[in-house]
Structure 1
Amino acid sequence: MTTTAEPAARGTDVRLPYDGLLDLATAVFAARGMPRARASAAAEALLYGDVTGMRSHGLVNLTRLYLPLFDDNRADPAADLEIVADRRAAVLVDARRSLGLWAAGEAMDMAVARSAEYGVGMVSVRGGTHFGCAGHHTRRAVRQGAVGVLLSNCGRQRIARPPGGRSAMLGTNPLSVAAPAGPGLPPFVLDMSTTAVPTGKVREAARAGRGIPEGWLQDASGQPVTDPAALDRGEGFLMWLGGRPETGAFKGYGLALVVEVLAALVAGAGLGPAPEAFGGDGSPTGRDDDIGFLALAVQPAALRPREDFLSDAAGMFQSLLDCPPLQAGSPVGYPGTREAAYEEDARRHGVAVSEALYAELGEVAETIGARAPRVVAP
Structure 2
Amino acid sequence: MTTTSTTPATPGTATRRVAVGALLDFTAAVFRHHGVPRNRAGTAARALVHGDLTGVTSHGLTNLTRLYLKLFADGRCDPAAEPEVLADRGAAVLLDSHRALGLWAASETVDLAAERALEYGVGLVTVRGATHLGCAGVHARRAADRGMICLLVSNCGQQRIIRPPGGRSALLGTNPLAFAAPAGPRAPFVLDMSTTVVPTGRVRAAARAGTDIPPGWLEDAEGRPVTDPRALDRGDGYLKWLGGDPETGAFKGYGLGLLVEALGALLPGAGLGPDPAAWSGSGSPSGRDDDIGFTALVIAPARLRREDEFQTQATALFDALTGSPTLHQDHPVRYPGWYEAERAAEYGKSGVPLPAALFTELQQVAADLGLPAPAALAD
Would you say same fold, with TM above 0.5? yes
Stretch of structure 1 that moved more, 33-42 or 322-331: 322-331
Aligned to 2:32: 30
**1:243-283, Cα deviation, whole Å (9 max, x unpaired):** 00000000000000011000000100000111111122010
2:352 corresponds in structure 1 to 351
> 2: distance between equivalents of 1:160 and 1:32?
32
Matching of residue 51 in structure 1 with residue 35 in structure 2:
no
> Which residue number corresponds to residue 178 of structure 1?
180
Report how far residue 371 of structure 1 moved: 2.7
Counting only pairs closer than 5 Å after superposition, residues 94-109 of structure 1 correspond to structure 2 as 94-109=96-111
Partners of 1:150 and 1:9 in 2: CA distance: 30
Once the two structures are TM-superposed, the CA of residue 377 in structure 1 deviates from its matched residue by: 2.0
> Residue 85 of structure 1: SS of its match in structure 2?
strand
Quick one: distance in 2 between partners of 1:214 and 1:126?
36
Q: State the secondary structure of the residue aligned to 1:122.
A: strand
Cα deviation for residue 323 of structure 1 reads 1.6
Determine the structure 1 residue equivalent to 2:74. Answer: 72
CA distance in 2, matches of 1:67, 1:372: 17
Q: Letter of the 1:334 partner, please give it.
A: Y
Q: What secondary structure sits across from 1:104 in the alignment?
A: helix
| Paired residues of 2:4 and 2:201 also in contact (CA < 8 A) | no
Shift of 1:79: 0.2
Of stretches 364-373 and 200-209 in structure 1, the one that deviates more from structure 2 is 364-373
Distance 1:224 1:89 in 2: 46
Partner of 2:209: 208
Q: 8 Å contact 1:160–1:284 — kept in the other structure?
A: yes
| 1:330-345 correspondence to structure 2 within 5 Å | 330-345=331-346
Q: How does 1:27-176 map to 2 (within 5 A)?
A: 27-176=29-178
- State the shift of 1:301 in Å: 0.6
CA contact (8 A) 1:179 1:188 kept: yes
Deviation at 1:322, TM superposition (A): 1.0
Q: Distance in 2 between matches of 1:13 and 1:351?
A: 9
Distance of 1:62 and 1:319 partners within structure 2:
40
Separation in structure 1 between the aligned mates of residue 36 and residue 206 of structure 2, nearest angstrom: 32
Distance 1:86 1:288 in 2: 27
**Residues in 2 aligned to 1:25 and 1:248: alpha-carbon distance in whole angstroms:** 40
Task: Please report how far the alpha carbon of residue 328 of structure 1 lies from its aligned counterpart in structure 2 after TM superposition.
Answer: 2.2
Aligned-pair CA distance for 1:3 = 4.1
Q: Secondary structure at the match of 1:187?
A: strand
Displacement of 1:369 after TM fit? 1.6
Contact 1:4–1:192 (CA under 8 A) maintained in structure 2: no
How many Å separate the matches in 1 of 2:219 and 2:50? 30
Normalising to structure 2: TM-score of the pair? 0.98
Q: Which runs of 4+ in 1 moved over 6 A?
A: none
What amino acid maps onto 2:84 in structure 1?
A: E
In 2, Cα distance between equivalents of 1:51 and 1:162: 34
Pairing 1:187-336 to 2, within 5 Å after superposition: 187-336=188-337
SS in 1 for 2:222: coil
Q: Is the 8 A contact 2:44 2:103 kept in 1?
A: yes
Q: Which runs of 5+ in 2 are unaligned?
A: none
TM-score, with normalisation over the residues of structure 1?
0.98
Deviation at 1:175, TM superposition (A): 0.3
Structure 2: distance between partners of 1:373 and 1:153: 33
